Chains A and B, each alone.
Chain A
Amino acid sequence: MTSGQKKGTFSVLIIGIILGIALWGGFNWALELTNTEQFCISCHEMRDNPYEDLQETIHFTNRTGVRATCPDCHVPREWIHKIVRKIQASNELYHHFIVKDVDTPEKFEAKKLELARHVWKAMKDTDSRECRNCHNFDSMDFERQESRSADRHEEAIEKGYTCIDCHKGIAHQLPEGYDPGDDAPGGDDEED
């Protein structure tokens, strides 16, 4: 190899690395930018409906001041799942710009049950993965919980229930048409 060839290979390598950093960094930067609450509520559908709901719940204000933002619960942390969710979000853009079927509070309310069911199904399918980013059975001190909570959590571990089986409507108001009295964890199958 001549020194000129060596130089050429070297500069291609350097340019490649710089370009790689710039592109990957830019991609990640954009990814993170769209992963903030500020971004979520830049659409009025999100700002006026789910975000309003959230503000009345313990995930927004509580005694310790730890709070959850939209992506903490609705965007997976793991890279591959995050990308999948980001691609799915293009459907939300489609509904925002073209279909416009949730662009007023009334229209949103009418569709809320359907939307909620989608989220509940997603959480059920992933075994409430996003909840467990913060809430972990292994770190729960049942001694410090109310007895009725502790009993139910122990039962949930034993029977393999997932968070969303019981904790629906804790960060948003429940939609009309959903009856909490008709929805027990584990469904109808194992009545004792």
Chain B
Amino acid sequence: MKKLITTATMAVSILLVSGNSVFAKESVASLRGTQDIQGSSLKVTKKKLVSQEGGFERSYKQQPPMIPHKIDKYKINLKNNGCLKCHSKKNHKKEKAPMLGESHFLTRDGKKLDHVSSRRYFCNQCHAPQVDANPLVKNEFDGLK
């Protein structure tokens, strides 16, 4: 009996889920568009990265600063981190670049290291370059002042 109920519930839920997705397919277009799942996605128009002298203003105090220059020539991999060429403790003054924050030298246990902590190593996980693009959705967002 118990088995029967479980099977029935499962069947109903599967029906519900699949029914839902059929419905969803008709009314909501994903970012992928209506492209067939087997085909390749739509080609994205390339936008140039923006360079802005003096940097971008932050929207709130703890926001990782956005990157105000092109980054395609700087590689980050296990062997080296090209961003540090200018942003390292040693070079930033000479290169007139902001130094990476002190927090980047701390391990997750709060221990201070003399090199960049591995959890902060991949700069563009938090810091993003910007393009001059229109917002996808119209909005009146204004950062904290």
Contact = CB atoms under 8 A, between A and B. Distances in A.
Interface residues of A, number: 24
B89 interface: yes
Contacts of B90: 181-182, 184
Nearest to A175: B79
Interface stretch (B1-9, B23-31, B93-101, B133-141): B93-101
Contacts of A58: 73
Contacts of A173: 75, 77, 79
Interface string B78-111: 1111101101111101111000000000000000
Interface stretch (A64-72, A126-134, A146-154): A146-154
Given A146-B51, A147-B53, A191-B93, A181 B85 contact: yes
B73 A170 contact: yes
Interface string A54-96: 0000100000000000000000000000000000000000000
The secondary-structure label for the interface of chain A is loop
A129 B93 CA distance: 29
B69 interface: yes
Contact of B91 (A146, A170, A175, A184): A184
A131 to B, nearest CB: 16
A181 B91 contact: yes
B94 A191 contact: yes
A180 B69 contact: no
A17 to B, nearest CB: 53
A178 B79 CA distance: 8
Contact of B93 (A148, A185, A192): A192
B84 A174 contact: no
Given A174-B79, A175-B79, A151 B94 contact: no
Contact of B89 (A151, A175, A181): A181
Interface of B: 51, 53, 69-70, 73, 75, 77-82, 84-85, 87-91, 93-96
Given A179-B84, A180-B80, 9 more contacts: A147-B51, A147-B53, A169-B75, A177-B79, A180-B85, A182-B88, A184-B94, A191-B94, A192-B93
